[in-house]
Amino acid sequence: MIGTLRGRLLSKRAAEIIVDVQGVGYEVFVPASVASGLPEQGVEVFLHIHTHVKEDSIKLFGFLSPHEKQVFSTLLGVNGVGPKLALNVLSSLPGENFRQAVEAEDTTALSKVPGIGKKTAARIILELKQKLPSMALNLRDAVFEDALSALVNLGYKKAEAQKALEKAGKEPDTEKGIEGLLKGALKELTGR
């Protein structure tokens, strides 16, 4: 399996690129957000790769971050969602927008993606509601997890505590460490 690619960008189209890695050109399918975030042709690129193997083909799907790759892989676990549809989802609802649509159970937003109807949107929401990682803190550290655990033990709902911790973590004046993070989150939760 190919996990990452580093090479020179040979060509770039809306949904696919070709990356030259030491003389071998790899065709990589990418969401629109990735294609627009890539440099000009001839410049070195680094992509996180999902290798999709079928009986008759091997396709590479590229992403700029491990988080995007993880969301793509998670989407493939939904019954009826293949790589093309998963790519459409990430092209139409890039980054945090997709996670927010799933958490808000917004079937209307998901139904706007080409190839997704109301039933498929509802299935995606049902199957992924608790599985998607938060992009705001995609590399959660032990301090965040400890603070989240402390807030849940105090009686706050996990989603509510998570949102408060994410807001507190973005504040520039938040003290470092678990104490500062908890203090900021508690201010968010109590409205003070």
pLDDT tens figures, 67-103: 888 888 888 888 888 999 999 998 888 767 888 888 8
Largest CA distance in the chain: 60
Q: Where in the chain is the domain with CATH 1.10.8?
A: 142-190
Res 135 pLDDT > 70: no
Q: Which fold has domain 67-128?
A: DNA polymerase; domain 1 (1.10.150)
In this structure, which CATH number among 2.40.10, 1.10.8, 1.10.10, 1.10.3470 belongs to the domain 142-190?
Answer: 1.10.8
Q: Where in the chain is the domain with CATH 2.40.50.140?
A: 4-63
Amino acid at 9: L
pLDDT tens figures, 12-61: 987 899 999 999 999 999 998 888 888 888 999 999 999 999 889 999 99
Burial of 141 (0-12, 13-18, 19+ CB in 10 A): exposed
Note the CATH architecture for domain 4-63: Beta Barrel (2.40)
Interior angle at CA 133, CA 27 and CA 116, nearest 5: 60
Res 182 pLDDT > 70: yes
Q: 192: pLDDT confidence band, cut at 50, 70 and 90?
A: low
pLDDT tens figures, 156-174: 888 888 888 888 877 655 4
Amino acid at 142: A
The whole model's pTM is what? 0.65
Q: Where in the chain is the domain with CATH 1.10.150.20?
A: 67-128
* Other beta carbons less than 10 A from residue 107's beta carbon: 19
Q: 142: pLDDT confidence band, cut at 50, 70 and 90?
A: low
